[in-house]
Amino acid sequence: MDVAPDGDEALGWLDVAPYDLVVLDIMLPKMDGIEVCRRIRARGTRVPILMLTARDAVADRVRGLDSGADDYLIKPFAFAELVARLRALARREPVAHGAVLEVGDLRLDTTTRQVSRQGVPISLTNKEYMLLAFLMRHRNQVLTRTMIAEHVWNYDFDNASNVIDVHIRYLRRKVDDPFPVKLIQTVRGAGYRISADADG
C-alpha cells in the first residue's frame, strides 16, 4: 500500500505502478480528488476508485461519481464499512492492468470481451469468461478455490463444493483441449493457475 500526501504525487505513483484499488480524499492539497479522478479516467485507466469526503451534499456526491469514481464514502465512517466497500470493489472485474490480457497464444480483450487462441475465437459463458479473466490477471500464480469463489462468484462457499472444478473443466474443454499446449494447470492440494510454462 502506498500513501500520497497530495494529488500530484498520487498521479505520479499511478504512472509507475499498477494498482488494484485507489482511495481518494476529495480534499487533497495541490490537486483535489475530483481532478485526480478525472485525470486517471482521462488516461483510460479503469482501476476501481473509492472517493472519501466530509461533504454530504448530493451535488458533491454527484460531482465525485461523474468524475469517474466507483463508490463514495462520507466522513466520518466506520472502518469496517470502508473495508467492506473496498472488498466489494475488489470483487468487480478490474481492467486496470490493460485492456488485453495474454498468456501464451491465448488472448482476452476486456473491452470487447472477445477471447481467442491462435486467432481462433472462443465462445464463453459469463462465468467462464470471469473465471478465465481472473486466472489471466494472476498468470503464473496459484489461486485457491476460496480466492476464485470470492472474486468470480462474489461470495464465499464451502471449499468442498465442486462448482469451481466443474467450471474449470468446462473452460479447459474450450481453451485447452483443442490445442497442444495446455495452459490451465491443477496444483494438487492448492488450486489452479494459468501459465504458458509447463512448470508454471
pLDDT digits (tens, 9 = 90+) for 13-38: 876 667 788 998 888 888 888 898 88
114 lies in the same domain as 69: no
Residues 6 or more apart whose Cβ sits within 8 Å of residue 144: 159, 190, 191
104 lies in the same domain as 175: yes
Each residue of 55-72: pLDDT tens digit? 666 677 777 777 888 888
Boundary (domain end) residue, out of 56, 72, 91: 91
Beta-sheet pairing, 114-117 with 120-122 = antiparallel
Closest CA to 8 of 39, 23, 30: 30
Boundary (domain end) residue, out of 63, 91, 119: 91
Rounded CA gap, 82 and 185, in Å? Answer: 35
Q: Which domain holds residue 79?
A: 7-91
What per-residue confidence (pLDDT) applies to 97? 46
- Asked whether residue 199 is assigned to any structural domain, the reply reads no
Rounded CA gap, 93 and 153, in Å? Answer: 11
What CATH number does the domain containing 49 carry? Answer: 3.40.50.2300
Closest CA to 41 of 62, 61, 59, 65: 65
- Asked whether residue 2 is assigned to any structural domain, the reply reads no
Q: How confident is the model at residue 47 (pLDDT cuts 50, 70, 90)?
A: confident
83 lies in the same domain as 128: no
Boundary (domain end) residue, out of 69, 91, 113: 91
